[in-house]
Amino acid sequence: MTTNYAALIADDRVHGSLYVDTDVYAEEMDRIFTRGWVFVGHESEVPGRGDWVTRKLGREPVIMVRDRTDTVHVLANRCSHRGTALCWEAAGNARSFQCTYHAWTFGLDGRLKGVPHPGGFHGDKASLGLDRPGQVDSYRGFVFANVSGDAPPLAKHLGPGGTELIDRLCDLSPTGTIRIDGGWIGHRVASNWKMWPESDNDGYHLGWVHASMVSTTDTYYEDTVLGGEGGNKSLASDLGDGHFELDFRPSYKTELAWLGAPRAKVAGYCDAMAATYGAERAERLLWDGPPHAYIFPNLFLGEMNLAIVEPVGPGVTVHRHTAVQLDGADEAFNRRLLRQSEAAMGPAGFIVPDDAVTAERMQAGFAGSRPAWAVSGADPATRAGAGGGRAWIDLSRGLDRERTDSDGRRHGDVTDETTNRAFWRHYRHVMSGWS
């Protein structure tokens, strides 16, 4: 029996058990992280031949590696002989992957190249290469994988919304390319992974969760979020396909507000942008800045940061971030981005630790959550308790004032829970097996 998701997720509320239930977690690992597309990494993380990084796609440990023909592969981090992990550090460079157990050797493309004492080996080398996700594809350097191999193409997963978000970030580079080479920092939080797509894109909490940051530093959030209802023109937007955004663009009062630096301080970058895009389009890009958005299920585009949301268990998540570096921008500009990332993100940042402790308090609050049918023993097919019962959380904020534009995108006030509903609507769709 699988969980009755339609009974646990309504348009205006979701049930707390979805954050703690071990069956739900197992089903997510299957339906979202195995059968769907998942962000793996960026091609610039493996700039040279033989460069590799390790990642987790749900439960599947993988290696992202660039081979001798400059093809980027995603391979299972698991020897095809006896299952030993081949790489156990975060990153490295290799000519080939050799297992430490019996020295089976694999090429950078995953092909089985050598088996010691071949006299006793009668296997088929061609079929004993490293496992790999059924589909791997990339968009502007962002590598995604679908482990099961039977999801619709990446372009369909990203949809127009996800594609546009990645475009808007990459177009801030004078060469149209971002670079990820500042290192990743993992932040371990005792919460379910779904608190992160929620809180990373919640425009309602800033004035309270981040009150200490807001009262000690000057940030552009003053103009873009904190005015609250009607105090600014920012939007909470559902871009479809599980992707969503806090859109600050309508609120910016100056160019480069998102950078917190005037043109005079980053003139080289501004000139390079104008040289690439022409004065008019560069001007637009410099006003609009990067998106603050989420690509389902595990990629946060946090303005000039990326974060990967890695589920570890129902109550443990790693929020792993890095700073975006813009190819074609000067070194001083990119170092500014590193310093801004350090200020905001990670275990010691001025922002995210307060989200982390809030997520942990939510997890504590959900500890006893069980759907009404589990408590009463009623048949889940009858949806007993769906209309009442305990441990529901309310996500109705702004539902009655959402508007839908001509592209079918829903928009609310930046403080509205439009972004959270966008996540859950798609989650329900995927988890109910309707995709």
Partner 1 sequence: MGIDEATRREIEAFLFLEARLADESRYEAWVGLMADDVHYWVPNGRADYDPATRLSYINDNRTRLATRVRQLQTGLRHAQTPASRMRRTVANIEVLAVDDAAGEVTVGANQVIYEVAVQSTGELRLWPGRVTFRLRRVDGAWRIASKVVELITAGDSLPNLTFLL
Residues that bind partner 1 (CB under 8 A): 90, 182-190, 209, 211-213, 215-217, 318, 320, 322-323, 335, 338-339, 341-343, 346-348, 350, 353-354, 356-358, 360-361, 364
Whole-Å CA distances, 392 to 94, 226, 367, 373, 386: 50, 27, 13, 13, 9
Contact 185, 345 (CB under 8 A): yes
Find the shortest distance in angstroms from Cβ 323 to partner 1: 6
Find the shortest distance in angstroms from Cβ 249 to partner 1: 27
- The SS3 of residue 419 is helix
Let me know the angle formed at the C-alpha of 224 by 173 and 172, rounded to the nearest 5 degrees: 5
CB closer to partner 1 out of 335 and 401: 335
Q: Which of 209, 201, 229 is nearest to 421 (CA)?
A: 201
Find the shortest distance in angstroms from Cβ 80 to partner 1: 28
CB closer to partner 1 out of 137 and 342: 342
Which residues is 192 bridged to in the sheet? Answer: none
CB closer to partner 1 out of 102 and 361: 361
CB closer to partner 1 out of 185 and 422: 185
Rounded Cα distance between 385 and 375, Å, is 10
Rounded Cα distance between 411 and 418, Å, is 7
CB closer to partner 1 out of 190 and 393: 190
CB closer to partner 1 out of 267 and 364: 364
Q: Which of 37, 60, 65, 241 is nearest to 139 (CA)?
A: 37
Find the shortest distance in angstroms from Cβ 82 to partner 1: 26
Residues written for the chain: 435
Find the shortest distance in angstroms from Cβ 208 to partner 1: 9
* Nearest-10 crossing angle of helices 279-288, 267-277: 130
Structure tokens at 344: 């905001």
Contact 51, 65 (CB under 8 A): yes
Q: Which of 268, 251, 335, 281 is nearest to 168 (CA)?
A: 281
Structure tokens at 69: 């023909």
Considering Cα of 88, then 91, then 94, then 96, what sign does the dihedral take? positive
Find the shortest distance in angstroms from Cβ 191 to partner 1: 9
Find the shortest distance in angstroms from Cβ 47 to partner 1: 15
CB closer to partner 1 out of 65 and 213: 213
CB closer to partner 1 out of 165 and 213: 213
Find the shortest distance in angstroms from Cβ 188 to partner 1: 4
CB closer to partner 1 out of 128 and 338: 338
Rounded Cα distance between 298 and 308, Å, is 6
Find the shortest distance in angstroms from Cβ 417 to partner 1: 21
Rounded Cα distance between 170 and 414, Å, is 24
β strands within 201-324, DSSP E: 235-240, 243-247, 292-295, 299-302, 305-313, 316-323
Rounded Cα distance between 232 and 201, Å, is 17
Contact 285, 171 (CB under 8 A): yes
CB closer to partner 1 out of 139 and 350: 350
CB closer to partner 1 out of 18 and 324: 324
Which helix (H) or strand (E) is 113 found in, with range?
Answer: strand 112-114
Find the shortest distance in angstroms from Cβ 100 to partner 1: 21
Find the shortest distance in angstroms from Cβ 84 to partner 1: 21
- The SS3 of residue 388 is coil
Let me know the angle formed at the C-alpha of 46 by 136 and 282, rounded to the nearest 5 degrees: 90
Rounded Cα distance between 231 and 243, Å, is 25
